[in-house]
Structure 1
Amino acid sequence: MLRLNQIFFYHLTLLLSILFFVVSTISYFALKNIEIEHYQKTLQNSIILIESQITGSNNLDGLVKNIKSLTNQRITVIDGRGKVIAESDFDKNEMENHANRPEIKEARENGWGSSIRYSSTLKENLLYVAKKSYKNSEPVYIRAAITLKTIQNNFYALWLKFLAVFGFFILFSLGVSYFLSKKIKMEINKIINFLDSIAKKEYKKSLKVNFAKEFEEIGEYLRNLTKKLQKREEKKEKFTKKLKQISRQRSELISAISHEFKNPVAIINGYTQALLEDDSMDEKLRRKFLEKIYNASNKISNMIDRLSIAIKFENNDLEPKKSEFDICYVVKDAVKLMKDKYKNREIVIKCEPYKVIADKTMIEMVLINLIDNALKYSETDVKVEIKEGEIRVIDKGIGIKNEDIEKITRKFYRARRNSWDNSMGLGLYLVSYILELHGSKLKIDSEYGKGSIFSFRL
């Protein structure tokens, strides 16, 4: 399996190669058309310059041959019936009637005509430009032509220069991407080594990762983790029983950082295998296993949803789609959903119709997170009420310590470090962010050991 920096480098190389091929193909045809248009205008200018000489000359054969020697352009003069009356490159008496030549027909109708075709006289492809004029009050057509070999040679020279410049840009981009991939690899190796030192209980090692903001956040999180683990280790002799619990949670926390989905997947695999291997399993036990599988799958789904929404919010990819609705109905829907999840818990609703203007989906998510949080950290009834325009979720659970209240809405922060349940500490972070998008703020009133009140206004 490839490393992250190798995947990044190979994919960028493939992308640039495809871009090079597409741009080269497009530029080939674009530059070719530009070059042909340039020579078409050059031939038109030549005809304009020699028109007065041709219409006033009595020696057309000598004149067109002289022009040929000066401009290297084939010059042909054709009368109104299509007969060639002067030709710079071939015997005019042996030439066919030109009345039906595409450029002559177009010039007869529009004054100017042009075409690219094979010359049966010179046995090669030429660009022709013809202009309708008059000599002694009779219509004549002055035609100038140039071989496509000249155009192609000039075009290829220009295109090669373009490819050289683009190739240099590709090489430069690959060099930059290689440098970035190396930097990413270095930062990842630092984190891996630091995690390895944590596993070995070497807490005094430092971690400095500052290549990007995401690495800084990971580094800060791991440094905070190390400090807390170190303090717990220092109390080992006095709190032996507590130390075992902390050590177990430390391992779970480190495992959750790199394998957030490992535990629910293991649950699903284990119970599914047991169901498959035992066809005669008791129905009650089978139902219990199926409930375990269902709950684990819900955990995975919730983790994915929360991570996805957190990333979108952090990148400012979502904007509230506000509408007017009755918040009381949304409260009832959220409570109904939570009752399905917590079948043995009581949720009391106290609200009257109250209109708000907000994003209904986001506010429902706020209520679900607050109610779920209240149910998770309490064992008695949870109350949801709307009072004087304020939406409140009240529980009589464990409460929150004063030093944790300001930190609890941070991403990945969890006040109860010893009860890791793969929630990832995103619930209140999302709530706070959604309310900020609505010009509101989450208010937390809590007394440790007695309960909490989470409230906000719209």
Structure 2
Amino acid sequence: MMNRDFFEMMALIVIGIIYHIFLILYFYNTRLLFFSLIFYFAIILIYYYNKKKVVNKYMDFINTLDNSLNHLINMDFQKVSGLQTLDETFNSKVNQKILRLSEIWQEESLQGLKEKENLQSLISDISHQVKTPMTNLKILQSALVKGHISKEEKEKLLKSMEGQLDKISFLLESMIKSSRLEIGLIQLNKIPSNLFDTIAEAIAGIVVKAEKKNIEIVVDCPESYILPHDKKWTAEALFNILENGIKYSPYNTKIEVKVERWEIYTKIDIIDEGIGIPEEDFGKIFQRFFREESSYDVEGVGIGLYLSREIIQRQEGYIKVASIIGEGSTFSVFLPNDL
């Protein structure tokens, strides 16, 4: 840098000498030569002063940029500072990009922390949910091996063990589904499909359970109702809500499925005559493994509604719930009418 400045200055001096020799030879005026020399060297000094000022300004810019990038690398987002140059437009653009980069990295950092917390919560939830059936299996296995029991009692124990294994299998299958949905391994394919057929598919999975409790299922939906949705996963979401309604409904009641087209969304109401949900739990029931205290005597793991919400949200829809204790609940599923 210094060698370059030196040669640049020498070149200007040589040019100046040649120019002033020309003045002497052409005008032969010493006063003109004197003022010309002063003016010329003043220009050189001003040029180098301004050049040094600009260089210093840009060196400050580079140092500040370097420090800001180091703070970003170290995720110390509060210390990312603004940058100053002589060009305000350039200054504004670079500042905007640096601050945007800081925001993106901060969001990524928070997202990574959130994912880590979710993973820890998931592991804790799985451990808690598997613990009870595993303990039951150990007790049943111990009774089966050590005890002198009749054939009938043995069959009863084996059936109980099968029930506990089914519970673990269902839990793990549900966890795999929810995890694959969360991390995007499952891609939902929204295409115009017959909603009536999707509802029928969901109902087919719970007919036997409904018949056991003599629960009537009534559907109010046009048979040719076309709506963009993922047929398989939407049926899964509706099945979970319907199954939940059957679990918490008394014998000899009714579940209604009503479809209504709104301007932007199609609303699917699933109305039961069950025990109802406390208002303070409306938001909690969609959390993974949440179970309301009064429902502990009902078989379940508390993941069905969580899965339903995940599936509907990934189709740009949402679920609302309304309920009255002792009278029943209404789950309203909203799906967009357009792709």
Q: TM-score range by the shorter chain?
A: 0.5 to 0.7
Q: CA deviation at 1:435?
A: 0.9
Tell me if structure 2 keeps the 8 A contact 1:335–1:347.
no
Amino acid at match of 2:321: I
Q: Where is the helix percentage greater, Structure 1 or Structure 2?
A: 2
| Structure 1 partner of 2:113 | 212
Q: Indicate how the Cα distance of structure 1 residues 291 and 379 shifts in structure 2: closer, same or farther if over 3 A, else same.
A: farther
| Structure 2 partner of 1:32 | none
Matching of residue 299 in structure 1 with residue 170 in structure 2: no
Q: How does 1:294-373 map to 2 (within 5 A)?
A: 294-341=162-209, 344-345=212-213, 346-351=215-220, 352-353=222-223, 354-373=225-244
Amino acid at match of 1:405: F
Matching of residue 387 in structure 1 with residue 256 in structure 2: no
Structure number with bigger Rg: 1
2:284 to 399, 403, 407: 407
Tell me if structure 1 keeps the 8 A contact 2:190–2:315.
no
Q: Indicate how the Cα distance of structure 1 residues 337 and 219 shifts in structure 2: closer, same or farther if over 3 A, else same.
A: closer
**TM-score normalised by the chain length of structure 2:** 0.52
Q: Hey, what's the Cα distance between the residues in 2 that align with 1:214 and 1:437?
A: 18
Q: CA deviation at 1:329?
A: 2.8
Q: CA deviation at 1:360?
A: 1.4
Q: Indicate how the Cα distance of structure 1 residues 287 and 454 shifts in structure 2: closer, same or farther if over 3 A, else same.
A: farther
Q: Hey, what's the Cα distance between the residues in 2 that align with 1:289 and 1:272?
A: 8
| Equivalent position SS for 1:430 | helix
**Structure 2 portions without partners, runs of 5+:** 1-110, 262-266
Q: CA deviation at 1:326?
A: 2.6
Amino acid at match of 1:281: K
Q: Hey, what's the Cα distance between the residues in 2 that align with 1:369 and 1:453?
A: 14
Amino acid at match of 1:362: W
Q: Hey, what's the Cα distance between the residues in 1 that align with 2:314 and 2:116?
A: 26
Deviations 1:313-371 (A, max 9, x none): 22233221234433323333332322334652224132441232211121111112101
Tell me if structure 2 keeps the 8 A contact 1:382–1:393.
no
**TM-score normalised by the chain length of structure 1:** 0.40
Q: Hey, what's the Cα distance between the residues in 1 that align with 2:121 and 2:165?
A: 31
Q: Hey, what's the Cα distance between the residues in 1 that align with 2:280 and 2:271?
A: 20
| Structure 2 partner of 1:376 | 247
| Equivalent position SS for 2:196 | helix
Q: CA deviation at 1:454?
A: 0.8
Q: Hey, what's the Cα distance between the residues in 2 that align with 1:274 and 1:449?
A: 41
| Equivalent position SS for 1:357 | strand
| Structure 2 partner of 1:444 | 321
RMSD: 3.5
Q: Hey, what's the Cα distance between the residues in 2 that align with 1:403 and 1:387?
A: 27
| Matched pairs, number | 214
Q: Hey, what's the Cα distance between the residues in 2 that align with 1:265 and 1:398?
A: 30
Tell me if structure 1 keeps the 8 A contact 2:180–2:186.
yes
Deviations 1:196-255 (A, max 9, x none): xxxxxxxxxxxxxx993355458999xxxxxxxxxxxxxxxxxxxxxxxxxxxxxxxx9x
Q: CA deviation at 1:442?
A: 0.7
Amino acid at match of 1:350: V
**Structure 1 portions without partners, runs of 5+:** 1-209, 222-253
| Structure 1 partner of 2:151 | 281
